[in-house]
Every structure is written in C-alpha cells, then in structure tokens.
Amino acid sequence: MIDPTGAEPRIAIVTGGSGGIGRAVAERLAADGMRVVVGYAGNPARAEQVVEAIAAAGGTAAGVAADVADEAQVAALFDEAERLYGGVDVVVHAAGIMLLSPLAELDLADLDRMHRVNIRGTFVVDRQAARRVRRGGAIINFSSSVVKLGLPSYSAYAASKGAVDAITWILAKELRGRDVTVNAVAPGPTATPLFLDGKDHAAVEELARMAPLERLGLPADIAEAVAFLAGPARWVNGQVIYVNGGIA
C-alpha cells in the first residue's frame, strides 16, 4: 500500500497475530498502511493465511514464529522485523491464553501456564519493545474486562491480566522522554475461539446480554480501538481502555 503523503510506512509487530483478535488487529493495521509482522506460536499455516489475506488486500506482512515467553525467540522476532522492514514503531501484544476454573478447584498447572504466557510473555515482549520501538511509536498490551467484572471461575485469568495492567501503567512512566506511548485494551466478551471454547449456548447468550448493546464484541471492534492507540492517540498514555460495549 502506498502512503499518499510520501511518508515511510510504520512497522508493527502483532503477537498472537494468527487468529481471533490478533488477526483482526494485524489486518486492520495493514489496512491503515503499516507493514505488519504477524507473530505466532504454533500454527504456521494459519499465520500464512493472515499474511496472504493482508497481501490480497494490498498490504505488506510477514509471519514469524516466536514463543512470547522465550526471551531468545522474542528477540529474534524483533530482529526479523528490523531486518525485513528497517525498524519497529508499534508493538501489539495480543498473545494470551485463558483457562477457567473456580479458585478452589483450580489446577495449579493451569495457573502456571497462564502466568508463563500472560505475565512472563508480557514482560518479555514489552522489554524488547521498550528497547527497540522508535520515537513516535506505541506499545499496546492486552488486558481484560474481567479484571473489574469479577466473574466466577475467572480468578486466575483475571489475576494474570491485572498484572498486565500494572506493567502497562509503570512502563508508560519508565519511557518518559522517549515519545512512546504504552496502553492496554481490555476487551469484554468477544466472539473468538478463545472466548467461546467450552461455553454452551446459554452461557454465551447470557454474556452477550451483559452489554447495553446486547451482543458479543467482534474482533474488528477491538482492532478499531487498537488502531486508534497505534496511530492518532498520541495523548493517550498509561491507560487501560475498556472495549466492552458498555459493561459496567
């Protein structure tokens, strides 16, 4: 895609970019004129589908495998973005896992898995982003509306996303003087495979009715908020933006 202003395209890395919200974000940023590195963990075919969809729409993208909790692999992800496109301007850390259980019945192995991906992964990705994102850039983490909703069975997941909130607030302050914003989006119930997995129709309908708009969010709804933070929102910094259709 050619920028009619003649400006150099911005470069975005999207972790978890091969499916669900991450795919919608990658495609939206590409549609906005960015060159996108689609980070993925274990499904190269699905990542290639995203890259092909972006190319078919006139954008530029490449898929790069990386375990977000592995320091060496994340460093290599950023290295590849710089090798391909010359730098990094936007990092969207959308990779995450959600494993639900009442606290009293929680398998601690599930807690450890979410800690590794959702908390350690955010630290690892944000550390590289803090070192490499160019002036005028943006770092966007993914929190969740369940941090404040307090839904039963979400305690471990909400705890992991509460940690993301804290990382976001503090990193924004640590990057003083860099002209790099750090924010998080906190989706509400959104129609993705991650969210719908294991829920029966009645549960999904109940969650859809929670918002005054009386529907589940769509990945495109979340991508719209990310695009705002990645582009024009230069005076929004250190915030967690709840993108949930008005759920209290």
Mean per-residue pLDDT of the chain: 94
Which pLDDT belongs to residue 27? Answer: 98
> How far is 147 from 152, CA to CA, in rounded Å?
11
Collapse the DSSP code of 47 into the 3-class scheme (helix H, G, I; strand E, B; otherwise coil) and give the result.
helix
Q: Report helix angle 121-132 to 155-174, nearest 10.
A: 20
Mean pLDDT of 96-103: 94
Cα diameter, the chain:
58
Per-residue pLDDT tens over the stretch 195-211: 777 778 888 888 889 89
What phi and psi values does residue 219 have, to the nearest 5 degrees? Answer: -50, -35
Per-residue pLDDT tens over the stretch 112-163: 999 999 999 999 999 999 999 999 999 999 999 999 999 899 999 999 999 9
Which pLDDT belongs to residue 52? Answer: 98
Which pLDDT belongs to residue 143? Answer: 98
Collapse the DSSP code of 149 into the 3-class scheme (helix H, G, I; strand E, B; otherwise coil) and give the result.
helix
Q: Which long-range contacts (CB under 8 A, 24 or more apart) does 196-200 make?
A: 198/100
Mean pLDDT of 77-99: 97
CB of 41 within 8 A of CB of 95? Answer: yes
Per-residue pLDDT tens over the stretch 39-56: 999 899 999 999 999 999
Determine whether 154 is an active site residue: no
Residues of the chain above pLDDT 90, percent: 86
Per-residue pLDDT tens over the stretch 218-244: 999 999 999 999 999 999 999 999 999
Which pLDDT belongs to residue 174? Answer: 98
Mean pLDDT of 70-86: 98
Angle ∠(17,19,25) on CA atoms, nearest 5: 50
CB of 138 within 8 A of CB of 180? Answer: yes
Q: Which amino acid is at 20?
A: G
Local structure of residue 118 (DSSP, 8 states): I
Which pLDDT belongs to residue 1? Answer: 39
Catalytic residue among 40, 85, 154, 157: 157
The structure tokens 């933070």 sit at 229
pLDDT at 2 over 50: no
Domains and CATH numbers, the chain: 11-242 (3.40.50.720)
pLDDT at 170 over 70: yes
> How far is 138 from 183, CA to CA, in rounded Å?
8
